[in-house]
């Protein structure tokens, strides 16, 4: 957990919503100099903070509406801090809770150096990252259509297609086996939608790959050098990390990627683990998939997994392999080098 500890003359906490924003500005001594509810627009915000702009820092909680405010502060040269929503217990756990109280608490945490920070993803690559995440939504929708086709066959006690319907060449005659007109029409609709999703996803992936080569082609191809990391996983890792230098240590990175468990202990006693949902779920998925794909047509990798499974069991061995891949990617990007199988299997970083 990182805290913002810089000293300023004024501290602005904002409880931000889609249409309104509540501002609270404190001076260096902690005195409230402004408490005001505004429309969520640039002009009212800049007018409200104008008397205090000489040495002002702005903070908001990390919710879906922060992009425009972060970009505005960047253009205006105003320091901007994004509060980590899961760590901001002082706001979520208070007895009284409203916009005015929340804005005041954000300003208090900011002034006291106890505001937990989230990463402010810069705008140059942010929209591409969001587009990549949107692709995942489309893939899930396509997958639900494929599952509906299979479930409908089970409902009518018909044999499922012998070949995978996910491939366009295997879809001929899939709906015709149903004698009921409405059931047949239902599958025809599914197949038409899947065909449309195929085209949309294919075009989207081409666009994303072009953008990755424009943003950082070297990192993209360096990630592709890892066995098991293909186009989509490389894109995911590239855009979810953005800049490996923001992680001071490899431990920070694997924790952010949810590749390690965090121990809870007290008075020398181990109480278990926690924080499993704190971090980047997309990186967790990418490295978990990469661990499985790493083993395909890779006898050396399979032998390495067997050694791990002998000591820890197969499930934990895969988790260890995913964590090791995450650590390896960290050092690859930090040291500007490609993947080396001998080095990966020979020792752990």
Task: Provide CB contacts within 8 A for 96, sequence distance 6+.
Answer: none
The yes-or-no verdict on residue 333 having pLDDT over 60 is yes
Residues 88-124 pLDDT 10s = 877 777 777 899 999 999 999 999 999 999 999 999 9
Identify the three-state secondary structure at position 56: strand
Residues 48-73 pLDDT 10s = 999 999 999 999 999 889 999 999 99
CB 94 within 8 A of CB 101: yes
**Using CB atoms within 10 A of its CB, is residue 335 exposed (0-12), middle (13-18) or buried (19+)?**
exposed
The yes-or-no verdict on residue 348 having pLDDT over 90 is no
User: d(Cα 139, Cα 206) in Å, to the nearest integer?
Assistant: 15
CB 3 within 8 A of CB 116: yes
Q: How confident is the model at residue 347 (pLDDT cuts 50, 70, 90)?
A: low
**Using CB atoms within 10 A of its CB, is residue 270 exposed (0-12), middle (13-18) or buried (19+)?**
exposed
Identify the three-state secondary structure at position 245: helix
In 10 A of CB 166, how many CB atoms? 13
Residue 96: the pLDDT is 79
User: d(Cα 161, Cα 223) in Å, to the nearest integer?
Assistant: 36
Residue 226: the pLDDT is 96
Residue 75: the pLDDT is 96
Share of the chain above pLDDT 70, in %: 99
Share of the chain above pLDDT 90, in %: 87
The yes-or-no verdict on residue 276 having pLDDT over 80 is no
Residue 136: the pLDDT is 95
Residues 145-168 pLDDT 10s = 999 999 999 999 999 999 999 999
Tokens of 53: 């702009």
Q: What is the pTM of this model?
A: 0.90
**What is 65-93 written as a DSSP string?**
T-HHHHHHHHHHT--EEEE-GGG-HHHHT
- Mean pLDDT along residues 187-203: 97
Q: Where are the chain's structural domains?
A: 3-118, 124-224, 245-264+276-346
Q: What are the start-end ranges of the E strands in the chain? A: 3-4, 10-16, 20-27, 32-39, 56-61, 80-83, 115-118, 262-266, 269-274
User: d(Cα 244, Cα 349) in Å, to the nearest integer?
Assistant: 16
Per the listing, tokens 């494929």 go with 146
Sign of CA dihedral 190, 195, 200, 204: positive
Residue 95: the pLDDT is 76
Task: Provide CB contacts within 8 A for 152, sequence distance 6+.
Answer: 178, 183, 186, 187
Domain 3-118 superfamily per CATH:
ATPase, nucleotide binding domain (3.30.420.40)
Q: How many alpha carbons fall within 13 Å on the CB side of residue 234?
A: 24
């Amino acid at each position: 957990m990182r805290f913002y500890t810089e000293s300023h003359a004024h501290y602005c906490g904002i409880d931000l919503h889609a249409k309104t924003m509540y501002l609270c500005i404190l001076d260096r001594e902690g005195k409230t100099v402004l408490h005001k509810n505004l429309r969520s627009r640039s002009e009212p915000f800049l007018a409200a903070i104008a008397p205090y702009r000489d040495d002002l820092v702005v903070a908001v909680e990390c919710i879906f509406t922060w992009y425009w405010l972060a970009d505005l502060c960047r253009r205006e040269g105003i320091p901007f801090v994004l509060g980590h929503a899961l760590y901001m217990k002082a706001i979520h756990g208070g007895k009284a809770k409203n916009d005015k109280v929340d804005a005041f608490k954000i300003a208090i945490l900011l002034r006291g150096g106890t505001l937990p920070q989230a990463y402010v993803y810069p705008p140059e690559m942010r929209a591409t990252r969001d587009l990549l995440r949107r692709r995942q939504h489309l893939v899930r929708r396509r997958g639900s259509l494929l599952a509906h086709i299979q479930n409908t066959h089970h409902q009518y006690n018909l044999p499922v297609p012998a070949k995978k319907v996910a491939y366009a060449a295997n879809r001929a005659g899939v709906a015709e086996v149903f004698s009921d007109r409405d059931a047949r029409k239902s599958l025809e609709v599914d197949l038409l939608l899947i065909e449309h999703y195929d085209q949309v996803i294919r075009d989207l992936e081409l666009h994303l790959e072009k953008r990755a080569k424009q943003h950082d082609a070297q990192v993209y191809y360096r990630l592709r050098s890892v066995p098991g990391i293909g186009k989509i996983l490389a894109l995911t890792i590239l855009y979810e990390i953005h800049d490996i230098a923001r992680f001071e240590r490899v431990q920070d990175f694997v924790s952010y990627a949810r590749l390690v468990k965090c121990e809870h202990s007290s008075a020398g006693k181990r109480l278990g683990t926690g924080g499993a949902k704190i971090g980047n779920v997309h990186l967790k998925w990418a490295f978990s998939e990469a661990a499985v794909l790493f083993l395909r047509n890779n006898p050396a990798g399979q032998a390495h997994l067997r050694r791990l499974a002998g000591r820890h069991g197969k499930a934990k061995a895969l988790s260890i392999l995913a964590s090791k891949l995450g650590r390896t990617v960290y050092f690859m990007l930090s040291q500007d080098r490609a993947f080396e199988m001998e080095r990966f299997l020979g020792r752990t970083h």
